[in-house]
Structure 1
């Protein structure tokens, strides 16, 4: 399918359109990551050239967000804090005038009207091209293995070993990246940390949490930990670092 790619530099209204899609496709609790809420808006101004929209007939069919950062260690040493860490690292490096050598993908979202068009491959390919054309050595992504939400009690270490009949990863998003040349680098067990009062989590999930323990929540990759005495529910989401060597 023919499409056009534009960046937030070309159209600053992208964030509003992206937010509308984000609220449609993500579980409510994902929208309450404190690190994201503190920094996300600035992504579209500080790093506008790395926020892209895929337009089909003038409509945002999908989009991607990314951030550059500097990393001089082995990619196998990328942090456990994955997504949260990458977002903070990009802004910290910018403030400290550190020259980045890696572009990190933060989000790929596809409009529900276009989810049967295999746009995932096209969007990842566009992100790789942006990374290459801007001189980055690597393109990395803390991938959210979205089908893991169907298997929240299976350890992530086991889940990433699952394969389909063709020998590719069982998880659809991991499969996209591997087919496009990515290497599965490591698990980041605490990629997103979302704490909240129990009442907040009950509102976000639409389920009661009347006692302490681990709760299986729709859309969550692992159970949510609840402590009634402390009035807190905590979610630590595992993601999987994948990496592309570009030059």
Structure 2
């Protein structure tokens, strides 16, 4: 699982301090919400996981994003709340097998898991992979971009869309990654001589560097999709 999820993500993705505070306990408490997809030889080909929360279906009441979903899931668990919504947090396919429909199969399995638990809603804070080519475009504007056939321009969003998922909101501050200037230089392979905003590899938005504070802050936006 760790090897599978280590591929295909930028190095700075693990610098979310808020998420890191929750992930260890989340993986323990909600271990039964982790799914793996195996081939005929029992080889791991894809994996995904989610967390349960309470959500009334109103887009105005969506979590702030990825990190906030982790917090809400643990808070609800500690208060013995009865969740009604599965938040799909991640879905990953082995690199050499992408483009074969496995991602759709995995998302379908996660939706079925919600059905089995009696949870009425399935949502996902989706990281639009194509957004990295347009880091200066707002997530709200990017969310409106479609192909000529009406499908979303972003391929990962399009995978969800083909399964019936639809956009219900944006999460401009889904995650916040923080690190020293040296750490960001290592993660990106760039040099940051001055304070200011920088377009970085695989970044969906610019990185803000403050050399006086020896700090770089990157805020990652997501798109909220709701599955049927």
Per the alignment, residue 15 of structure 1 pairs with: none
Matched, 1:87 2:98: no
1:1-247 residue pairs with structure 2 within 5 A?
18-56=1-39, 57-72=41-56, 74-79=58-63, 81-245=64-228
Aligned partners of 1:196 and 1:233 also within 8 Å: yes
Instruction: Please give the TM-score of this superposition, normalised by the length of structure 1.
Output: 0.88
Whether the aligned pair in 2 keeps the contact of 1:189 and 1:237 (CA below 8 Å) is: yes
Alpha carbons 2:195, 2:210 under 8 Å: kept: yes
5+ long unaligned stretches in structure 2? none
CA RMSD of the aligned region, Å?
1.3
How far apart, in 2, do the equivalents of 1:197 and 1:75 lie? 35
Count the aligned residue pairs. Answer: 227
Q: Secondary structure at the match of 2:48?
A: strand
C-alpha separation in 2, matches of 1:128 and 1:73: 16
> Structure 1 residues 165, 73: CA separation in 2 closer, same or farther (over 3 Å shift)?
closer
**Separation in structure 2 between the aligned mates of residue 199 and residue 91 of structure 1, nearest angstrom:** 33
The 1-side partners of 2:17 and 2:44 are apart by: 27
Normalising by structure 2, report the TM-score: 0.95
Q: Deviation at 1:73? A: 6.0
CA shift, 1:119, in A, is 1.2
Is this contact kept in 1: 2:197–2:207, CA < 8 A? yes
1:244 positional shift: 2.4
Aligned equivalents of 2:4 and 2:201: distance in 1? Answer: 19
Q: Deviations over 1:155-178 (max 9, x none)?
A: 212211111121100011111112
Q: C-alpha displacement at 1:142, in angstroms?
A: 0.6
The gaps in structure 1 that reach 5 residues or longer are 1-17
Distance 1:85 1:240 in 2: 14
